[in-house]
Structure 1
Amino acid sequence: MTNSIANRIADFLSHFPPFSLLKNTEREKIANEVRVLYFPPGKPVFLKDEKVHNHFYIVQKGAVDLQKVNQGQEPETIDKCDEGDVFGLRPLFAKENYQINAITDEESVIYAIPSEIFKPYAISNPQVGNFLMESFASNTRNPYSNEHRGKLFTEEDDISLKREALFELQPIPIIKKIITVTPETSIQQAALLMYKRKVGSVIVVENELPVGIVTDVDFREQVATGKISVQSPIQEIMRSPVICYSKGLTIAQAQLTMMKHNINHICITKDGTPNTKVKGIVSEHDIIVSQGNNPAVLMKAINRASSTNKLKKIRSKIMLLLDGYLKSNIPLGHISNIIFELNDATIKRTITRCIEKMNSPVPVEFTWMSLGSQGRKEQLLHTDQDNALVFQDVPEDQLEETRAYFLKLATKVTKRLNIIGYKFCPAEMMARNPKYCLSESEWKDQFSNWVTASGNDEILLCQIFFDFDITYGNVRLTNAISNHIFDILKGNKNFLNRLAAQALRNPSPLGFFRRFLVEQDGEKKDLFDIKKRGIMPLTDAARLLILEHRVKNISNTAERFEKLARLEPNNQELYLACAYSSKALIKFRTRQGIKNKDNGRFINLGDLGKEDKIKLKRCFKTIKEVQELIKIRYETTYYL
């Protein structure tokens, strides 16, 4: 006889991943084992520190709040599960207790999926396994949903990021504080060592090579139950062989391995086999803790932040994420994209909150422009904020009233950004300055004046506005201004020549006998300015050359040079070298900034090793070559 309830359950599951990724026959087998649970509002499905159930869950009707529980504080809702959302995945990945609360927000019907019934499908079906790992790692119930697909799991439509940047590129946290014992060591001795060192596992070694591992789970199951005496040798309860990997293991690989082998610890050895000495250990608990620095989790936290201080705390976690990426030698392009999106979301959230605090609604459409390094997607460290605002044209009698509104809004935004860590621009190139809070027509007139006047000050002012990104608002406004700029630049040789002279104002930073040119006086005397003498010459060159080709919508320096390499095949080698040098110098500055806890701009050359100095000199040789090209092309040797 047909089980109509099981059929209805199977039909429901077929609409939601990971069950939609299974065959019909597989879904039907699972549906026959599903438990249907009813919960009134406010009832827990499970609580923090509760022993994990033998099921994970999917919401059939209603809603469930997932709550973070901090010691001595009220539970904080960090996510809400609606119809079709999967939660409570810990039984598939670990035997540790739940880390959060799951409380029904309204009357709910929930399907409980037996873990042991489902687990074989997760292991044998790569798509299912990938879905579950992403859900578990990112704290996102359904990373395949339409609103989340290909995004950093945010509500903003224009923030996107490839999934591999979140998982395949994220390094595993390796714990080097390990305890090793011999197989003959008594269980009691090993337990006392673990208690003293406050660790959850001990590695059993012979001739310094790993032969087994014992965790606190083994103590609970084998010793606390009375099955094995505490005086017995540790080898009687150790798990063997040890699952080993080499350094470089990713979070996704680790979680799949733990699920496949039903373990919660992985041993890190020199060559990834038990044949070499132990270097560290990875635990499932440490992976969960590390998710606080997962970009997807950080993005969700940014979009939910209810105060400037919360955004400031998130900003410090972004810096930890940046440090981890650099130490793992992840390509700068991936790093820049991730940090840019997180910075951009922080600014967006700040603007949104400030608009809510204004006494009246926004009078007309506007756009907030991020300029300089953030506009070029090159702002990795805590550097100055450069921004501007353009608002929709209004009748003359409403202009100053409208401007006053946006100046007040910009003052609120820039003040909060300063608290978060984006320092005020010393030159006041910010949207709170009336010079940079203009209507669309005023901006067009401003650029026309800058381009036609072409004085030194005007060139310096306007060139930063060629490196902008739209952080908030209506893209039509900035597109109109961009089109206007390219119209007035067409055939304007004089302006390009003046821009070329600006690009040569900082010559290659190597003096006679290839010695670095350092600051000669002032507070930074004898320090090397990597921004002024290394990064800016490449930024200026890329901007000039890409403008000559009238290429829009590429503001990143390395991407500009890569585009130029395609546009000018005869200079391809030089431009690709420039792209590499730009990334290398920004990465070098970022590492120095993290090391010295500053913006990384000024470097003590005495602290650099020979290898670093050689790499820098190679980059500066590229700067000299591209500046020579500019001198010849624009017939100028004039240094401002």
Structure 2
Amino acid sequence: MKNTIAERIFDFLKDFPPFNILEKDQLFEIASNIKVTYLEKNNFIFKQEAQPHNCFYVVKDGAIGLYRTMGEDQILVDICDEGDLFGLRPIIQNDHYLMSAKANEESIIYAIPVEILQEIIKTNTKAHKYLIASFSSNIKTPYAVTSNSNLFANVDSLEKTNTFSEVQTAKFSKNPITCVPSATIKEAANIMSSNRVGSILIVEDKKPIGIITDKDLRLKIATGLFSIEEKVGTIMSFPVITFPAKITIAEAQIAMIKYKITHLCITKDGTPDSELIGILSEHDIVVLHGNNPSVLIKELKRAKNVASLKYIREKTSALLNSYIEQNIPISFISKIISEITDAITIKAIELSLDEMEIQPPVKFGWLALGSQGRKEQLLITDQDNALVFEDVFNEDYHKTKDYFLKLSKKITDKLHTVGFEYCPSKMMASNPKWCLSLSEWKSQFKNWITKPSEKSIMMCTIFFDYNLVYGDSNLVRKMSKSIFKSIKSYEIFLNFLGKNALVNPPPLGFFRQFLVESDGAHKDQFDLKSRAFMPLIDAARLLILSHNVKNKNNTIERFEKLAKLEPQNKDLYFSCIDAFKILLRYRTEQGIKHNDSGRFIELNNLNKSEKLKLKGCFKPIKDIQELLNIRYNLAQMM
């Protein structure tokens, strides 16, 4: 005979974490042993300091308020609604309840026996982690180093799993074919032929100093540029790019894209100065992970017009969709898409330079700003870029600037054709304001820093996240040095930057309700960028600047560096990283789904699991803002 009540409970629970990750028979066992309780308004389920029950609870209908007694006052801490868990202490810590639970309205709750779930979570680690995370979000110090709990232990359980991993070690050939520097090209070619390989490493004192591939033989020997009787050193590529044996697939792919190579040398300590132990080829990576973006990079290198760039950008979007569907780690996706975007930009610059009547009169650098500058741009957004050129004599200034403005216009037009819209605020190198000499940029940054205003602080949040995409790196180093020098001479600037980081309050209201837009075109929608992303981005930028750390623009990398610099706060910073990853994936998914930037969300379209996942990201935002408030004494500036 069917247990219809148990089936109805099963159907309800299966849509909510952690029940949605249990095996079917496990969930049905729970549903068959649940006690259903009806509560009138103001009835207590348990009270603060009471002994824990032998069960915990799930809200079926209604609302349960969690209250903390402070003297004679009852302080409302949280409200649990449909699908929310509460009363978890008997599972995690068999201790007195720290809060009271009372029905704020007529409610139906499910009481789940602790014994049954304890048996299940012994073999279901994801469910165990989720329960710990739910419990830890209500304890006093969720980021304490001594706590075994982790606010984001539910990250894996709330996302689909995938066999691919950022930390999966790449398999490389442990018997690389080698020759000595004194060998001739003919001898090296014979060794390659007899071993049926497409490359040979040149080794001296067991250390790799160069590499010859089939491509070198085709382009340099078959064409008659060099004699086959010459030494291998005349045509070998050097220096080689080396990594340690524990190189991951992600690291290998990114390195090959970045350096535009097809082979990596594996050495004992990962440096060129240690013994060669293997070689990893692009073919090895293709075998390990078939969807290889290196193919797109090769197409970019062959591209001869803007139409080709647009086609590759569209293929990149398809690659992004595929990665998201496969649930590949978002950090890896971000790095890959960023490298391809940079490569598209570089090709647009090269095509534009070819169209100019003369070569650049002086050295210059093309800077990506904003999300592209932080290497966090996954969806196609509008352009944010700038140009810096070498200082020239006054009489040559206007002629030089006109040249770079003309070049910048060609570049931004091509990027627009590719799919990157013009910036509505004209934050582009084609704008004379953002096409400046090195001295002008130094002066501009100094003025923003030493004369902070609402507008100048906003400019700093945009321009401080620059990344050199093309051109002279020495110019950018001088710019960075000048910025840090100005900050050091006017340290109160960091306080103004901190005040700006608190402009957007934590994304939840008092009763854990999402703060939505109150008017305008996006009324009643949730602004994911302003209320969730920017507080984390702004905090990471401010804190990394305060430590005088250069060349760390990516938000995740900034928090990773901060965790090392401030070990006392590392748990908070790691939780910020987890939150940022979840938010980045979610915004990308929403952008793909709605064919937009993914910035504004219709909350009515979110299911319970999605809302829980987003709410779990908001506590680190609140706590990182509290840290800034205390550290920079921002209450006095409000």
The TM-score normalised by the length of structure 1 is 0.58
**Is 1:586 aligned to residue 595 of structure 2?**
no
- Equivalent of 2:322, from 321, 324, 347? 324
- Within-5 A mapping of 1:228-627: 294-627=292-625
The letter for the 2-side match of 1:618 is G
The letter for the 1-side match of 2:516 is V
Q: Secondary structure at the match of 1:470?
A: strand
On the 8 A contact 2:241/2:264 being kept in 1, the answer is no
On the 8 A contact 2:587/2:599 being kept in 1, the answer is yes
Q: Secondary structure at the match of 1:383?
A: coil
Paired with 2:555 and 2:518, the residues of 1 have a C-alpha distance of 29
- 1:330 deviates by 2.0
- 1:347 deviates by 0.5
Paired with 2:338 and 2:570, the residues of 1 have a C-alpha distance of 27
Question: For residue 67 of structure 1, what is the aligned residue in structure 2?
Answer: none
Paired with 1:389 and 1:107, the residues of 2 have a C-alpha distance of 38
Count of aligned positions: 415
- 1:351 deviates by 0.3
On the 8 A contact 2:256/2:263 being kept in 1, the answer is no
Paired with 1:499 and 1:31, the residues of 2 have a C-alpha distance of 63
Tell me: CA distance 1:255–1:431, structure 2 relative to 1, closer, same or farther (3 Å).
Answer: closer
On the 8 A contact 1:517/1:528 being kept in 2, the answer is yes
Paired with 2:598 and 2:410, the residues of 1 have a C-alpha distance of 28
- TM-align CA RMSD: 4.0
Paired with 1:339 and 1:327, the residues of 2 have a C-alpha distance of 15
- 1:635 deviates by 1.4
Q: Secondary structure at the match of 2:634?
A: coil
On the 8 A contact 1:370/1:387 being kept in 2, the answer is yes
Paired with 1:393 and 1:107, the residues of 2 have a C-alpha distance of 40
On the 8 A contact 1:510/1:517 being kept in 2, the answer is yes
User: Residues 192-225 of structure 1, C-alpha deviation per residue, up to 9 Å, x if partnerless?
Assistant: xxxxxxxxxxxxxxxxxxxxxxxxxxxxxxxxxx
User: Residues 491-510 of structure 1, C-alpha deviation per residue, up to 9 Å, x if partnerless?
Assistant: 52321111111000111111
Paired with 1:253 and 1:152, the residues of 2 have a C-alpha distance of 7
User: Residues 126-158 of structure 1, C-alpha deviation per residue, up to 9 Å, x if partnerless?
Assistant: xxxxxxxxxxxxxxxxx9996787776999975
| Structure 1: 5+ residue stretches without partners | 1-16, 22-27, 36-54, 61-79, 87-103, 111-142, 165-250, 257-286
Identity of matched residues, %: 46
The letter for the 2-side match of 1:519 is E
User: Residues 350-374 of structure 1, C-alpha deviation per residue, up to 9 Å, x if partnerless?
Assistant: 1011011011111000001111101
Paired with 1:157 and 1:414, the residues of 2 have a C-alpha distance of 23
- 1:548 deviates by 0.9
On the 8 A contact 2:306/2:418 being kept in 1, the answer is yes
Paired with 2:493 and 2:399, the residues of 1 have a C-alpha distance of 35
- 1:327 deviates by 2.1
Paired with 1:517 and 1:153, the residues of 2 have a C-alpha distance of 38
- 1:545 deviates by 0.9
Paired with 2:466 and 2:586, the residues of 1 have a C-alpha distance of 23
Q: Secondary structure at the match of 2:511?
A: helix
Paired with 2:530 and 2:308, the residues of 1 have a C-alpha distance of 34
Q: Secondary structure at the match of 1:388?
A: strand
Paired with 1:508 and 1:157, the residues of 2 have a C-alpha distance of 37
Paired with 2:332 and 2:615, the residues of 1 have a C-alpha distance of 25
The letter for the 2-side match of 1:341 is E
Tell me: CA distance 1:336–1:144, structure 2 relative to 1, closer, same or farther (3 Å).
Answer: farther
Paired with 2:361 and 2:257, the residues of 1 have a C-alpha distance of 22
- 1:624 deviates by 0.6
Tell me: CA distance 1:377–1:161, structure 2 relative to 1, closer, same or farther (3 Å).
Answer: farther
Paired with 1:579 and 1:630, the residues of 2 have a C-alpha distance of 17
Tell me: CA distance 1:255–1:506, structure 2 relative to 1, closer, same or farther (3 Å).
Answer: closer
Question: For residue 8 of structure 2, what is the aligned residue in structure 1?
Answer: none
On the 8 A contact 1:631/1:637 being kept in 2, the answer is yes
On the 8 A contact 1:152/1:160 being kept in 2, the answer is no
- 1:383 deviates by 1.0
On the 8 A contact 1:371/1:387 being kept in 2, the answer is yes
- Within-5 A mapping of 1:94-133: none
Tell me: CA distance 1:553–1:364, structure 2 relative to 1, closer, same or farther (3 Å).
Answer: same
Tell me: CA distance 1:606–1:145, structure 2 relative to 1, closer, same or farther (3 Å).
Answer: farther
Tell me: CA distance 1:475–1:326, structure 2 relative to 1, closer, same or farther (3 Å).
Answer: same
Q: Secondary structure at the match of 2:573?
A: helix
- 1:329 deviates by 2.2
On the 8 A contact 1:501/1:638 being kept in 2, the answer is no
On the 8 A contact 2:504/2:535 being kept in 1, the answer is yes
Tell me: CA distance 1:59–1:305, structure 2 relative to 1, closer, same or farther (3 Å).
Answer: same
Paired with 2:434 and 2:330, the residues of 1 have a C-alpha distance of 31
The letter for the 1-side match of 2:431 is N
Paired with 2:301 and 2:190, the residues of 1 have a C-alpha distance of 36
Paired with 1:498 and 1:107, the residues of 2 have a C-alpha distance of 61
On the 8 A contact 2:286/2:292 being kept in 1, the answer is no
- 1:294 deviates by 2.1
Question: For residue 77 of structure 1, what is the aligned residue in structure 2?
Answer: none
The letter for the 2-side match of 1:333 is S
Paired with 1:302 and 1:19, the residues of 2 have a C-alpha distance of 30
On the 8 A contact 2:313/2:418 being kept in 1, the answer is yes
Paired with 1:457 and 1:601, the residues of 2 have a C-alpha distance of 23
Tell me: CA distance 1:489–1:384, structure 2 relative to 1, closer, same or farther (3 Å).
Answer: same
On the 8 A contact 2:258/2:339 being kept in 1, the answer is no
Q: Secondary structure at the match of 2:436?
A: strand
Question: For residue 121 of structure 2, what is the aligned residue in structure 1?
Answer: none
The letter for the 2-side match of 1:591 is E
On the 8 A contact 1:154/1:299 being kept in 2, the answer is no
Paired with 1:494 and 1:153, the residues of 2 have a C-alpha distance of 39
- 1:604 deviates by 1.4
The letter for the 2-side match of 1:378 is E
On the 8 A contact 2:508/2:515 being kept in 1, the answer is yes
- 1:581 deviates by 1.1
The letter for the 1-side match of 2:345 is I
- 1:81 deviates by 5.3
Paired with 1:569 and 1:18, the residues of 2 have a C-alpha distance of 41
- 1:522 deviates by 2.1
